[in-house]
Amino acid sequence: MFSLLTPMEAEALRLSLRVAFWAVLGSLPFGVMLAWILSRLHFPGKSLLDGLLHLPLVLPPVVIGYLLLVGLGRNGVIGKILYEHLGVSIAFTWKGAVAASAVMAFPLLVRTVRLSLDAVDARLEMAARTYGAGPWRVFFTITLPLSMPGIVAGMVLAFARSLGEFGATITFVSNIPGRTQTLPLALYTLTQVPNGEEAAMRLCLLAVAIALVALIGANWLEKRLPALLGR
């Protein structure tokens, strides 16, 4: 696949896959935790928390990118502390692209996992507690295995969303070839240069193919994973 692309296009694809992988891996524990909280607990402000988690779905991506820049830029509230005390800079690096992609994909991950947790029969958890199992044991031996199809499907959807992230990424980390230029940013660049239509079409078809495979894979896993896990 990479041999069919130019060096710039291949580098953009590699960076996109790298960013999407770390975005999903880094957000997965928090996504499962928040999905469990929203599914199992009742507390004041739950609706507000749910609304805040879903804001990236309704806000313009540029707004999310700007908020990340304000918070994690070198002069940002958190970014300044990270840079001055740890020497860590996130804005305008591939790590910033990971952060932007993770934030934009996070609602899809949480929502999918939460729906899967809601489908788990709470009576099974109650029965386990009756026999003396602690909360952690109940979660790891009953809740987590039974909700695994939804978790995997959520990971696939979040991965696909991370691959397609554009607005927040270009606002937070710019469009730097070889450093922050992901597949959507490379496609945008090619549409702005003379004679870039052919290369732009190749990347467009590649992006469509990856997204389609991810969606088909998510649907397949949701239906087949329970059987594979022996449920």
pLDDT of residue 76: 86
User: What letter represents residue 88's amino acid?
Assistant: V
The model's pLDDT over 161-199, given as tens digits with 9 standing for 90+, comes to 998 899 999 999 999 888 899 999 999 988 888 888 888
pLDDT of residue 205: 87
What gap in Å lies between CA 221 and CA 150, rounded to an integer? 8
What gap in Å lies between CA 216 and CA 231, rounded to an integer? 22
pLDDT of residue 228: 53
**DSSP reduced 3-state for 170:** helix
pLDDT of residue 226: 61
pLDDT of residue 223: 72
Q: Contact, 92 vs 180, CB < 8 A?
A: yes
pLDDT of residue 134: 84
pLDDT of residue 167: 92
2-228 carries CATH number 1.10.3720.10: yes
User: What letter represents residue 11's amino acid?
Assistant: E
Q: Contact, 98 vs 19, CB < 8 A?
A: yes
**pLDDT < 70 stretches in the chain:** 1-4, 222, 225-231
pTM of the model: 0.88
